[in-house]
Chains A and B, each alone.
Chain A
Amino acid sequence: MTISKYIKTAQIALQTQTNGGIVYMFPQIITKIIYLVPLMFIWRIITSGGADSGMTLNQLLSYTYINALLANILIVDTFINDWDSAGKCAILFTRPMSVFGQVISRTVGEWVPTLLMFSLPMALIAPLFGIGIIPQTPWVIPSLILCASLGFAFEFLFFCITLRLKNVVWLMWVIRSAIVSFFSGTVIPFKILPFGMEKWMVFQLFGSLGGATLSLYVGSAEPMQIILAQIFWNIIIWTITVI
């Protein structure tokens, strides 16, 4: 009975994505492809030059491809930022459900259309481009769950911070997006960063987001190291968030 509320919330969120028809999802899909293609060409250019990047071309292509397919899960972005700027967040507290639960269930519901319409077809045609999508270790599954969990914790934490700071919702979103996009390692793998950055980037706070899971996916990192770091940061950030 209790869980059915959250399932229904997820179902409604799923339907809102396709209310106007699936055609309205095409701009999102095109945007993802436009962001994906140049980076894949960059990897081909770098590796064709004979440079030793620390990762093979297949690893780099798989890294970027899987990042595009699972972008919503690897870097969680919920609706509470939009609702915060529109002043609708009070609605969350008027419903007979926990705030955490309804945000998570609604966000998961919103993921489903993109996963079905973009990620699944792209995963099926990946072998045609010579891109491997089979994970190198089964530890990818728990890592992905921990990554999503940490992403949600960050969302709630930044939500609380913007409530405290009042009129800086957009600014916080800009600063957070800028920091997370680089420090999460989803765009540029940690392993190929210069100046020895890869040694400490894996263990920093945002390193346990998408980059951690992607590193396990392509087999460029030690599973135990990554999983333990993710568990550690999950405990820390969720504790701060709940407090």
Chain B
Amino acid sequence: MGNITLKRYLELLTIYAKMDLGALLRDTKFMLVALISDICADISAISGIFLLAWKFDGIGGLGKYEILFMLAYGGIVNGTISIFDHGNASFPSRIIGRGQWEHMFIMPLPYSIQMLAGFFPFTCSGRFISGVILMCFAVPHLTVVLPWWWIFLLIGNIIISMVIIVGLSYLVSSLTFYAPVQCEEISSTVYCYFRSPYRHPLKDGNTERRFYFGLFVYLTGSN
């Protein structure tokens, strides 16, 4: 298969972005409805915890804007995964289970590049946009003083969170080689396991609770 250069990889991202823009312009009404439904779904999913935080002025030692920041962070992580998730790249068990993994053998690109080259910044950015909006609203109200390099730390944490979630998805997807039909949706099931805890502030003074849920909190990047 061989390696490709960074320039070629960026060209591939550009091609996908152009195709995505073409899809948006071809059926703008449908795509805008899809985008808005993503935003509505994300906001609805977090609104319960957010309203609780507003009512009780924070939960478990976190202030209401810190909880909003936490929810925004999770939204950005999930949204960024959606933007790069072309052809179920973050759910490889579906590719394997449907017999599409073999299709990748005949393409003149390394497997890793085929999975990483997907880029849908126009039609799959709903969740990312809602996360960014919430974060822009939360950050100015945080009580901590943020240094100038904080944004790089944020981006680094987002990347690490994405790598952990997608890595676990790939790990469990290896089971699909042994049981293609039964494990076709295993990666999406595992992915869903992380989408619930990230919305819940589990930080409190109880050391035992923090220990038991430390892994969930770290994996979902909500700490």
Contacts and interface: CB of A to CB of B under 8 A. Distances in A.
Contacts of B30: 167-168
23 contacts: A27-B186, A27-B189, A30-B193, A31-B189, A34-B193, A38-B200, A38-B202, A38-B216, A41-B202, A42-B201, A45-B59, A45-B202, A48-B204, A168-B33, A171-B33, A171-B34, A175-B40, A177-B41, A181-B45, A182-B44, A188-B49, A192-B52, A195-B51
Given A48-B204, A174-B41, A182-B44, 14 more contacts: A30-B193, A34-B196, A35-B196, A42-B202, A45-B59, A46-B59, A171-B33, A175-B37, A175-B40, A178-B40, A187-B48, A192-B55, A194-B54, A197-B51
Nearest to A49: B56
B37 A171 contact: yes
A144 to B, nearest CB: 22
A57 to B, nearest CB: 14
Nearest to A180: B44
Contacts of A178: 37, 40-41, 43-45
Nearest to B27: A167
Interface of A: 20, 24, 27, 30-31, 34-35, 38-39, 41-42, 45-46, 48-49, 51, 53, 167-168, 171, 174-175, 177-179, 181-182, 187-188, 192-195, 197
A194 B196 CA distance: 22
Contacts of A39: 200
A46 B40 contact: no
B38 A42 contact: no
Contacts of B192: 31
Nearest to B54: A194
Contact of B56 (A20, A41, A53, A197): A53
Q: Is the contact region of chain B dominated by helix, strand, or loop, or is it mixed?
A: helix
Interface of B: 30, 33-34, 37-38, 40-41, 43-45, 47-49, 51-52, 54-56, 59-60, 182, 186, 189, 192-193, 196-197, 199-202, 204, 209, 213, 216
Contacts of B55: 53, 192-194
A42 B47 contact: no
A60 to B, nearest CB: 11
Contacts of B56: 46, 49, 51, 53
A12 to B, nearest CB: 20
B182 A188 contact: no
B35 to A, nearest CB: 10
Contact of A24 (B37, B52, B182): B182
